[in-house]
Amino acid sequence: MSRQKENIRCNAESLLPDQERRSFMILPGLPLVITGRTRVMLFMRSLAVVAAMMAMCLSNADQLTVDRVMVWKSERKMYLLADHAVVREYNIALGTNPRGPKRMEGDGRTPEGTYILDFKNPDSAFYKSIHVSYPNSADKRRAARSGVDPGGEIVIHGQRNGFHPVSWGSQRFDWTDGCIAVTNAEMDELWRLVSVGTVIEIRP
């Protein structure tokens, strides 16, 4: 450092109160003093930028138009699609007997096929639910040929009411009666992003 720059540095430092002397950075041709107060101001500005970016992300999320829900049972994954692009991904829990399509009431299986999310229930026995239009006409014909009740009341839902604190554990195994379960926070997001009438495709 040249003698002239050293003098600038020392003179700038001598003008500061002791409690504000922190660090000094001299840019080429420009003396710049970074004090404790300046650091706080920079930190607060950084927080403001982060908050603005988060608000923008939330706003963009609310503007998403989810046009399809895709479930891969073997992967225990559910995807939200908008214009053929995956915009959300969730880990899911299925029925207690998840392999194969649902055939009858009480078999513990999650259906396979293409259905409609046809209504929402905010007062479900679980934390909110979105109903899947199982059984469709093909499911009913198959059940009639076999002489069985095809079952129904298949929904996407959150955790059982009162059991939210243990969702970190319940989502590690298949525990539903054939429904598709997510965490309550994820259910809130689904509730916002998925409209009644959206197609859901459930694959093996």
Same structural domain, 86 and 136 = yes
pTM, two decimals, is 0.68
Domain that holds residue 128: 68-203
Same structural domain, 102 and 25 = no
Same structural domain, 98 and 164 = yes
Distance from chain centroid for Cα 202: 19
Q: For residue 101, give Cα distances in angstroms to 68, 79, 110, 113, 118.
A: 20, 19, 6, 8, 20
pLDDT of residue 40: 67
pLDDT of residue 172: 84
pLDDT tens profile 63-80: 688 999 999 999 999 999
pLDDT of residue 26: 44
pLDDT tens profile 3-34: 444 444 444 444 444 444 444 444 455 445 55
Last residue of a domain, one of 62, 79, 112: 62
- With beta carbons less than 8 A apart as the criterion, state whether 180 and 78 touch: yes
Low-confidence ranges of the chain (pLDDT < 50): 2-27, 30-31
Same structural domain, 81 and 54 = no
> From CA 201, how far away is CA 42, in angstroms rounded?
49
Same structural domain, 7 and 32 = yes
pLDDT of residue 55: 53
